[in-house]
Amino acid sequence: MKKVCANWPAEAFISGLVDAKHWQAFEENAKLAAAEIYKVSDYKAAEKTLKDVLQEFSPKEIIAVGGEENSVLAGIYSRLATDTTKVYTEKFDIAEHAPSADVGISTAEFGIGETGSLVVDNFSYEARVTSMLPFVNVVFVNANYMVENVTTACQIIGKVFDKGYCGFVTGPSRTADIERVLSLGVHGPNRLIVIAVENEGGEN
């Protein structure tokens, strides 16, 4: 998958600025923005959480990105498919099924404590449609990759952003254009579900 930066921790992260201690602020602010947060110890627990979460939606079609870069995720995606659930991970398949898919699964590079935002590298077309077109967007992020505020986030992005498409996602799509009443899911997802993995190298 095409990315702004192939390896954010190695090339973009600034030492001392990325720290698990900002998790609490991230979780609190992300929830305030109506994101649903699950923190899990490792990918094994993540897979169970994902399957539990998906039950609510009984998805017929899932589109998922991030498997190319992360073989553990690829494994999880392959095990989501059932007789009634199709999972698409190849880019043209994703493009074909994005308008009808029920759930999109994607990844984020790090989180921001101040705002509860996920920083996403969306250079590829498939990453963008996966996170935007279905009603449900599940996002995997490393729970230790957290920064304090938007200033530090932009410093990190500034190190590697030379071309492409990236940004922040903070909760689901929302509008208050009618009588200032908050409504979710106007153009993008109405559910943003974050699965934060504490120990990416752990049991999977």
Partner 1 sequence: MAERNLKKEIKAKLQDEVMQDALSRFADQYPGSRLKSYAGQDIEALRESLRCMKAEAVEEIDDLADKFEENVKARGGVVYRAKDGDDVKQFLLKICEENGVKRVVKSKSMASEEIHLNECFTQNNIRVKETDLGEWMIAIAGHKPSHMVMPAIHLNRYQCAEMFEKELQEEVPGEDIPYMIQKARQTLRQEFLQADMGITGANFGIAENGAIGLVTNEGNARLVTTLPRIHVVLIGYEKLIPKTEDAAKILRLLPRNGTCQKMTSYMTMVDGPTPVMYKKDGKWVEENRKQYVILLDNGRLEAAHDPVMKQVYQCVRCASCLNVCPIWTLVGGHVYGHIYSGGIGAILTGLLNGIENFSQFSDLCIGCRTCTTVCPGKIPIPDLIDELRNRYVKKHGVPTMDKSFFDNVLNDRGLFHKLLLKAGSVGQAPFKSGKFIRHLPLFFAGMTKGRSLPTIAERSIRDRMPALEKKNPAHAKKKVAFFSGCNTDFVFADTGENVVKVLQSLGMEVVYPMAQSCCGKPILGVGDRETGKKAAKRNIEALESVNPDVIVTSCPTCAETLSETYEKLFEDDPVWGPRAKAFCKKVREFSSFVAEEYKAQGKLLPTAGGEKVTFHDSCHMKRGLGIYEEPRALLDATPGVELVEMKNCDKCCGMAGSFGMKYAEVSIPLLEEKVENIKATGATTCVVACPSCMMQIGGGLDNQNTGIKVKHIADVLAERL
Summarize as ranges the residues that interact with partner 1 (CB under 8 A): 2, 29, 32-33, 91-92, 95-96, 99, 112, 114-117, 122-126, 128-129, 132, 149-151, 153-155, 157-158, 161-181, 183, 185-188
Please name which of 138, 82, 13 lies closest in space to residue 22, comparing C-alpha atoms: 13
CB of 1 to partner 1, least distance (A): 10
CB of 118 to partner 1, least distance (A): 10
**Is the Cβ of residue 34 or residue 204 nearer to partner 1 in the bound state?**
34
Distance CA 133, CA 110 (A): 22
**Is the Cβ of residue 26 or residue 43 nearer to partner 1 in the bound state?**
26
Q: At what angle do helices 43-55 and 71-78 cross, to 10 degrees?
A: 40
Q: Give the number of other Cβ atoms within 10 Å of residue 151's Cβ.
A: 11
**Is the Cβ of residue 57 or residue 125 nearer to partner 1 in the bound state?**
125
**Six-digit token string for 55:** 């039950």
**Is the Cβ of residue 125 or residue 198 nearer to partner 1 in the bound state?**
125
CB of 140 to partner 1, least distance (A): 19
SS3 call for 142: strand
CB of 7 to partner 1, least distance (A): 19
Strand order in the sheet with 61-64: 36-40, 191-197, 136-142, 103-107, 61-64, 86-88
